[in-house]
Structure formats: C-alpha cells, structure tokens
Amino acid sequence: MTPHLAFAVTSTRLTAIDWLVIALYFSILLGVATWVVRKAKDSATDYFLAGRNLGWWVIGASIFASNIGSEHVVGLAGSGATSGVAMAHYELHAWCLLLLGWVFVPFYMRSKVFTMPEFLERRFSVKSRYVLSIVSIVTFIVSKIAVGIFAGGVVFSTLFPEVRVNIAGLDIDSFWIGSVLVIVLTGLYTVLGGMRAVAYNDAVQVVVLICGSALLTIYGVVKLGGWSELRHICGSDMFNLWKPLIPAGQTGTWAPVIVKSAGHIVKQAWYFNDNFPWLGMLFCAPIIGMWYWCTDQYIVQRALGAPDETTARRGSIFAAFLKLAPVYLFIVPGLVCYALAKSGKIPELAPMIGPDGHAIPSVAQGSFPMLVEYLLPPGLRGIVVAGLLSALMGSLAGVFNACSTLFTVDLYEKWNPAASQHQIVRMGRIATVGMVLIALAWIPVIKGAQGLYTYLQSVQGYLAPPIFVVFFFGVFFKRLNAEGAFWAMVAGFALGIFRMCVDTPVTLGLAGLKGGYAEGSFLWIVNNIYFQYFSVLITIVSAVVMVVVSHLTAQPEYGRIQSLTFATATAEDKAHTRAGWGWKEVAASALVLICILCSYLYFRG
C-alpha cells in the first residue's frame, strides 16, 4: 500500500528571481562537480586526497568552507544575537592555522600519510591508530555530521516554515525535510567526486558566501542607521571580548553555590556564572583550536592534498586570513539581527526578543537566515540563500569524505590488505551512507541542546584533549612512547565519554532528568562542571598519564621515528623545510597575528 504523501506550501519571501538565481548557482556547482567526476581516477589517492594536486588557494578556501559551512553560519549568528562577540575568541584562534602550516605540515608531508591515525601509527603504534580512528569517527558522527544536518534543518525551517509533508498521517515539518534534502544533495557529489569535488566546490562557495555575508552585514547596519547605532542598541557588554577576563568580584563573575540538605549547608563550591568563563577561554579554547586546526582529519586532509610542503603551508596561511572573517560575516549579523528586532525596525523579528529584553536562544539560532529573508532585496537574497545552503552542504561533504577516509584507510584496509583500489573507493562510498544514517538518529540530542554552537564546543571539549596531547607532545618530545600515547588516549577518552553519558540524559530529559540530577549528588556535580573546565581536567589527566607511563616503560626506537619529531628530524629534513618558505610566508603570517591583535583591541566594549 502506497502511503499518503502531501505537501503544504504557502508563500515565502523568496521571489521568482531569487529562485532563478538559486537554480543558476546550483547549476554552476553541478557543472563543477561533473567536470571533476570526469577527471577523477578510480584510485584511493585521487578519491581521498584529490591526487595530491590541489593549489594553495583551493586548500585555503576548502579549509575555510569546511569550517564555516554548518555550525558557524547558523551557530555563530545565533551566538552573536544572544551573547554578543564572546564567541569571537574561537574565531580569533586563526593563529592555530599558522601552527598547522609552520609546525605540523613538514611532519605530515614527509610521512606521506592519508590520515591522522596513520601518522600516529608511525609515531607510536598500531594500537594508537585504532583508538584514534574509532574515536574520530564517533566524534564526526555526534558532532560534525549531526550538527551539519541540524544546521541545514534550521535554515530550511526559517526560510521555508510553511513547507510540510504528511506521510501516512505523520506530519513532517520543514526542519526534517531540510535535514534530509541537505544529506541527499550533499551525498550525491561527495560519493561521486570525492575530495576533488569537495575542494573545488568549496572554492566557489567561499566567494559567494563571503560576498553575500558582507552585503548582509552592510544592509543591516544601514537599516539600523549606522555602526554607532548598532553599538548603542546592543550595549557595550555585547561588544566586549574582555568581559570574561574581568577579575573575580568586580561584576559578580564568580558566585558561590550553596548546596543544602535538610536545611543545613553541606557543601560550598564556586562556579563561573558567565556564559564564557575567562579560565575556560584562556586554557580550553586554545586546546580545542589546536586539536581542530592541526590534528583533525576533517581539516588536515585538505593540506594533505597539496603536492609539497610549500603549497600546504601557503594554503594554511591563506586559510588563517579567511578564518578572521566569521567575526564580521556571521557574529556581527547576529548582533544586527538582535538590534533590528529590539529596535522594531523589522517587525517580523520581534518574536526573537524575550520578556527580559534578551534574545530567545531557540529563535536566535535562525538569525542569519531571518536576516536574509527579511532584509535583502530580491535577487541578492537568492544569491545569499544559495551560498548559505551550498556552504552547509560543503561542510557536510568535507566531513563525509574525511569520515569515509578514516573508515576505509584506517580500518577496512587493515582488515582487507589485499583490497584493490576500486574496492577501497567503493567501501569509502558505502561508509559515508552508513555514517549519515547513524547521524540522523543523533539529531534529537542536538535539538534539545541549549545552543547549537555550545553543543558542538562541549562535545569537542570532551573528546579533543587526549588527541591534542598525543600529537603535540609526540612531535615535541621524542622520549614519549607508544604505551604512554595509548593509555593517555584511553584515560582521556574514558573521561570524555563518561561526561557525555552523564550530560545526554539531562539534555534529552530522559527518566525525569529534564531538571537535572539530585542536587549535591556526584552526577549532579559532574553535570554542572562547566564543560571547558572539564576539558582542561581531561587534558591534564591525559598529559600526566602519557608522561608517567612513557617514563615507566622502555624508550622508543629512535631510528623508527626518524623525521617524525623535532629531535629526530635529519639535517636534510630541516634544509628541505627551510627551502620551502621565504619572506612572503613570514610577512603573511605576521599580518595574521597583527589582525588578531587589532580585533582584540577593538572589541573592548
């Protein structure tokens, strides 16, 4: 029996010219994908690393597009509307990309690896490779893939709220329709074209998204009456990057928690009642940043697609420049959306403001697409919508390719060493489909989270520290061995997964836990430790375990790890690296640092 299928669609603010622009833009992307597929070879190197033949500008654009495609477009604008520029701390960690280009690229390019776990095997052991592969795949599913799908759903539900489907009496809203469409459209060109299709489409998307977002910011500021009016409506707090750094006691940043039982005080603790505590931003944010930009397969795979060190380094520096843009392209539009809603200059945005005068987080998540819908004129609106949707797809495409690379190269090839190149590529495509289906089941967890970007940062904060420790300690300290790396990851991941298991039932409201655990209980304490502090705890535990275990066991065979640490790099290695850069690379890197410093100095409230 065929189920009853019905669509309910009423008018949206997208006009015929908008739809024409969207169709034209996607036709261009389809043309690029078709061209790439025709050039593709049925080999693992071509499918997973674009034949190691990407140019520096494509690498930089692809790194940037992969990063901003999902959680940044939707999450950062929502964060800007609710918390001001506080999340710019993460965006101003563009210096981490300089570490990728100057510190890690030489090691990665020398080793000619496909994946980060493969590099870890060469530095430490096969056990380390397996642990990192499995944890990385889990991390991709519960954070990057699921968050990307969720972001697509948010965009669709904001731009097309009236679209609904009824299947056998089951009413499906635009959020779920958008999520599924994003997966299907993304999967098509990712499965067929591999890394090359992802990278070249990313290059096209970056141009459109940057130009469109810049115009969105300009239109919004003009509608408000100027930049000064934006600052006036939002207030100095929302323009203050340094607020979390104010010393304790001056503004009530630190406050005591009194836990009572039967009327008696049984415990007194301290917590940080700001959204972004300064200790967390000072220590945790760089840890997550260095893990993400320097050791995560999702990002580093683009640099691995370069033909040599010089190209990979230049691509990383170019990506660092682009990485500075989200502060002004996504966070500021969030501020603009909040100001327009609060001032009443766009009445349709009024429901975003709560009774307390602050933005409602669940509504503010749609700040960026709401601005597109209510602020931009026809034609231009279509360009930005197309760029927004394709960027969401680009982010997912990148993580699909990275995830399938991890599964295929690190697991499938180990299980089936006699597999042909055709079988390897086919398995990568099959793996992508399976992981997407698993990610769909995780969406309810994200939907129940306080905020999209906060959810992502907390998951990464729980799983990133042990990876950061083994990679950074591994290249700087040759004495650290395989046993130390393995047990550091086991201990760190155990703590991180434990915290996720404690948090998830509360997030979903399972077993009557919508209000949390019993106050004062062990699980309540764990659940209420701010995620950044818990991340720092995991980092410390992982580092201590790695150092202690390494020094209690035999030192590594230094001949086997030649060229994989600073201390074991040969004179030839150092000369080759030095020959790959000049004053231009140094000057460009210095300019990135100057831009970061200027941003911190400007956003002082």
Residue pLDDT, tens place only, 221-244:
888 888 888 888 888 778 877 754
pLDDT digits (tens, 9 = 90+) for 56-112: 888 888 888 877 765 577 778 888 888 888 778 778 888 999 999 999 999 998 888
pLDDT band at 313 (very low <50, low <70, confident <90, very high): very high
State the virtual CA torsion across 49, 290, 389, 234 in degrees, nearest 10: -160
Architecture (CATH level 2) of domain 5-602? Up-down Bundle (1.20)
CA 52, 56, 58, 63 torsion: positive or negative? positive
Q: Is 50 exceeded by the pLDDT of residue 17?
A: yes
Secondary structure of 179-244 in HEC code, one letter for each residue: HHHHHHHHHHHHHHHHHHHHHHHHHHHHHHHHHHHHHHHHHHHHHHCCHHHHHHHHCHHHHECCHH
CA 36, 39, 41, 44 torsion: positive or negative? negative
Is residue 54 within 8 Å of 306, Cβ to Cβ?
Answer: yes
Is residue 147 within 8 Å of 155, Cβ to Cβ?
Answer: no
pTM: 0.80
Tell the residue number behind the tokens 């039932």, with chain if given.
505
State the virtual CA torsion across 68, 145, 32, 158 in degrees, nearest 10: -70
Q: Around Cβ 29, how many Cβ atoms within 10 Å?
A: 21
Q: What is the average per-residue pLDDT within 284-313?
A: 87
Is residue 325 within 8 Å of 72, Cβ to Cβ?
Answer: no
Q: What is the average per-residue pLDDT within 375-392?
A: 78
| Closest CA relative to residue 123, chosen from 109, 105, 111, 136 | 111
Please tell me the distance from the alpha carbon of residue 400 to that of residue 436, in angstroms, as a whole number.
8
Maximum Cα interatomic distance, the chain, rounded to a whole number of Å:
74
